[in-house]
Structure 1
Amino acid sequence: MNTTLIKGATLVNEGRQYVADVLIKNGFIEKIGQNIAAAGAAEINAEGLHLLPGMIDDQVHFREPGLTHKADIFTESMAAVAGGITSFMEMPNTVPNTLTQELLNEKYSIAAETSLANYSFYMGASNDNLDEVLRTDPKMVCGIKVFMGSSTGNMLVDNEKTLEHIFSQAPMLVATHCEDELTIRKNLAAFSAQYGEALTIDMHPLIRSAEACYRSSSLAVGLARQYGTRLHILHISTAREVALFDAGIPLHEKRITAEACVHHLWFSDADYAEKGNFIKWNPAVKTAADRSGILQGLLDGHIDVVATDHAPHTLDEKNQPYLQAPSGGPLVQHALSALLELYHQNKMTLEQVVEKSAHNVATCFNLDRRGFIREGYWADLVLADLNDPIRVTRANTLYKCGWSPFEGQTFQSAIIYTFVSGNMAYHKGKFTTSETGMRLQFNR
């Protein structure tokens, strides 16, 4: 692999900022310091740019196999590296659902050939595949995914005994989607009785309500405390849920952690009038008070990491009436830019952006030598210009689905370079497709 010398960047890492050179060799960060010289290295003048650890996205849906009319691993990993995401962890609700070790390994084989970013894939749980779940290798797989709310195919886990077995026997991190299905069904029946077919998108957060989220999240936390499970609850969408999690404890000591998603930090129910189904997610985007509560929980340590829940659908699918339009939207290309925008709005510091999008994800998942700018670590790095405004349009959107919920938004920061395991995967709109990312490994 080539040797690259980054000169004069402002590093944002482990709670501080400072100017330094970084030498990348054979995929790793070989040296960090002042006035580094390296004969034959490709040199990048990074004066005025900020060097960040690449964002590690612990929740994406890249739709391959089976749903590749929406997205695939190549196209979405390309969008990810353009947005400064160097590693992703992908969900099992593809077609077929990833409910066997054989199907899990098939996804790894696809990514080895096509992914421009580093990758891992969750093993899916159902009501009847416990034996397969327990065969999952903790050192080579990011986690076990449990849908404690409706999902694609046979992936709703609503059997109490199955949940008890998973929480008591899982050999690794269990990640949960928490929405109480019975509450949602009751709410939908009540709204349908009143409005018939005239249901509209603004009713989405009332049907998939805050109560549905809290009931399910509190159940998961209760089970984890009972059985000592390593639990990670995904996409917290209400202020009330924040109190379920502990703050003030070192992250590496936590057994129960939580994630916030970019869209729940950015949008509120006031945005449904303009954005409609394009901000329809499960769990739903809720009130401005919920948005503020989630951000505060992220900053004070109740919520540990930030992710995307990138889940693309086609324009035709999203343009259907509310009930028929699927939930989810594409976010990986603009997630880090959105977080940097929160910095420009004085809502987060750069150090907090890095902590929640990289450091804490690596710690939470026990990633091997990633998520920090350290000598001896993999060179997963992003050079960003914090003063290079870019307006999001369909023309500059890279997702296979061809749209973004951020269309019309101008972000103040631009991603200039992205390095994936030492490879310059992206530079100013150009990609290196001859090198693929690496399978993530975990120190468990």
Structure 2
Amino acid sequence: MSTPDRTTAPAAAGYDLVVTGARVVTPQGVLEGGVAVSEGRIAAVLGPGETPAAARTIDAEGRYLLPGVIDSHVHFRTPGLLYKEDWEHGSRAAAAGGVTTVIDMPNTQPPLIEPDDAAAKAAMIDGKSLVDYRFHFGVTEDSIDNLYRLQPRQATSVKVFMTGHHTAPHVIRDPQALDRIFAIAAERGIRLVLHAEDDGVFALLDDYLGEPEGYDAYEPSRPRSGGIVAAARVVELVRRHGTSVHIVHVSSSEESVLLRAANRAGLPITFEVTSHHLSFSASDTQRLGARIRLSPAIRSLDDQRDLWNALLEGGVATIGSDHAPHTVEEKSRSVQASPPGLPGVQELLTAVFTGMRRRHPELSTDELMTRIAQVGSAQPAALFGIGDRKGRIVAGLDADFTLFDPDAVWIMSAGHVQAKCGWSAYEGWTFTGRPDVTVRRGEVIWDGRGESPVFGSPTGIWLDAESSVLPVENGPAAVPAAVPAPA
């Protein structure tokens, strides 16, 4: 194992924060030691026994020091839907889950489809967020020309809905409009983030089958064929234009295999899996109903197993929560009227670690932590233009990390929930692993070690970013190199 770059510059009068006694998850591997923090940045990666002077010292007591999770798929419902989530509650849930940066989706009311509105949205959030944040931009069939004006400060990525639902009405149905979006994104060096299910397939099924009357009919009404058709269309559009794309919440084995094959063939295609699709199966939807109704629908146990294999083998680029809270009242409506989506930013890290450990007891905790650091931090940072300051425990980068106890066994209850909706689909689950302390830019924003959790100050910032994609006219569209999975 190579030794990481340990130090930037020494602190003349001691550091602001020092963490000791940790198993530090670095890009070079897991090592015994800690970190020293100065002015919000990692000033030094410490070796065993190093305890330099600091204003505050935290003894990790053998916990893992993970880079702060970057959840690149949240719906914090700002503006327009604050009755079901807001940044005060969403960021508290994130901090309690070991998340230090989020990237928010644009399907709000109104949607984020005007570049100048990004600054206005950030102003609404300023002083209310524990975590740092970025935005995905939105596009409708009438707003495509706005992509020419989009700047990296506003967003480096654009969300495209190829189908919709209750809170996502702006669907790109016109094939020519979709083709134009891909062409402009390639020209401008914008990464497309896609909900890749084919709306035409679902319209045919709705006409033929009618709307589902019960949750046993929900998944068959929104089957894997919609995702497979859309994924194949995306592959062809990428071949035509060279556009860099990231497909979110992939749900089926077939999509996973196709997208991995496309990436292996050199196409700039990556994809995300959510903790929900890794945790639940279609039979759970029949049992729990609206509580775990998702779009895309949750699939079979075989699909779940294949998504886990893709995650461990290195085919998955990011994990995301698709944190999309709704009120209990909304989830209590009829099958037709209940909206898809559930909270998840707080549960993301713990749910993924719990699943990894139970499915792969042969892998060491070091191996599991290394993989989580890749898909949960380093790769989303690289994909969305913030890898120069986020995503890794390296001297000079932001001091974003979480102290994670891999041996904690605990039962999730409604009392743990920080999201505004007040409920979790994981209530009653026995989890293994828990983020005990979360640090964002050197400030402790969550400390759950005592009887009552302690939160920090809502001083999260709107991050600037650089495009991580080369425009096609200047060279091939860029995609982060694949990171090998644990041996």
Q: Do they superpose with TM above 0.5?
A: yes
Checking the alignment, whether the CA contact within 8 Å between 1:124 and 1:133 is kept in structure 2 is no
Distance 1:425 1:250, change over 3 A: farther
Q: How does 1:42-81 map to 2 (within 5 A)?
A: 42-81=56-95
Residue 366 of structure 1: aligned partner: 385
Distance 1:109 1:254, change over 3 A: farther
Among 421, 433, 440, the alignment partner of 2:457 is 433
Give the superposition deviation at 1:328: 0.2
Residue 143 of structure 1: aligned partner: 157
**1:168 equivalent in alignment to 2:183:** yes
Question: TM-score by structure 2 length?
Answer: 0.86
Distance 1:186 1:250, change over 3 A: closer
Give the superposition deviation at 1:434: 4.8
Residue 205 of structure 1: aligned partner: 219
Distance 2:267 2:92 in 1: 33
Distance 1:115 1:262 in 2: 23
Distance 2:258 2:124 in 1: 38
Distance 2:193 2:235 in 1: 11
Among 420, 423, 438, the alignment partner of 1:403 is 423
Give the superposition deviation at 1:233: 0.7
Give the superposition deviation at 1:440: 4.6
Residue 104 of structure 1: aligned partner: 118
Distance 1:129 1:438, change over 3 A: closer
Question: TM-score by structure 1 length?
Answer: 0.94
Residue 136 of structure 2: aligned partner: 122
Identity of aligned residues (%): 30
Give the superposition deviation at 1:250: 9.1
Residue 104 of structure 1 aligns to a residue whose secondary structure is helix
Residue 237 of structure 2: aligned partner: 223
Residue 141 of structure 2 aligns to a residue whose secondary structure is coil
**1:442 equivalent in alignment to 2:466:** yes
Give the superposition deviation at 1:410: 1.6
1:332-387: CA deviation from partner (whole Å, max 9, x where unpaired): 11110111112321437221122111111122223232101101111110001112
Q: CA RMSD in A?
A: 2.1
Distance 1:153 1:57 in 2: 20
Q: Which runs of 4+ in 1 moved over 3 A?
A: 35-38, 151-154, 246-251
Distance 1:142 1:406, change over 3 A: farther
Between 368-377 and 142-151, report the one with greater CA deviation: 142-151
Checking the alignment, whether the CA contact within 8 Å between 1:168 and 1:229 is kept in structure 2 is yes
Checking the alignment, whether the CA contact within 8 Å between 1:423 and 1:435 is kept in structure 2 is no
Distance 1:365 1:282 in 2: 23
Residue 281 of structure 2: aligned partner: 268
Distance 2:321 2:130 in 1: 18
Residue 386 of structure 1: aligned partner: 406
**1:339 equivalent in alignment to 2:352:** yes
Give the superposition deviation at 1:162: 1.5
Distance 2:384 2:264 in 1: 14
**Unpaired segments of 5 or more residues in structure 1?**
none
Distance 2:198 2:405 in 1: 42
Distance 1:273 1:255 in 2: 36
How many residues align? The count is 439
Checking the alignment, whether the CA contact within 8 Å between 2:136 and 2:159 is kept in structure 1 is yes
Checking the alignment, whether the CA contact within 8 Å between 1:10 and 1:18 is kept in structure 2 is yes
Distance 1:405 1:43, change over 3 A: same
Checking the alignment, whether the CA contact within 8 Å between 2:411 and 2:428 is kept in structure 1 is yes
Checking the alignment, whether the CA contact within 8 Å between 1:70 and 1:400 is kept in structure 2 is yes
Distance 1:336 1:40 in 2: 29
Distance 1:369 1:88, change over 3 A: same
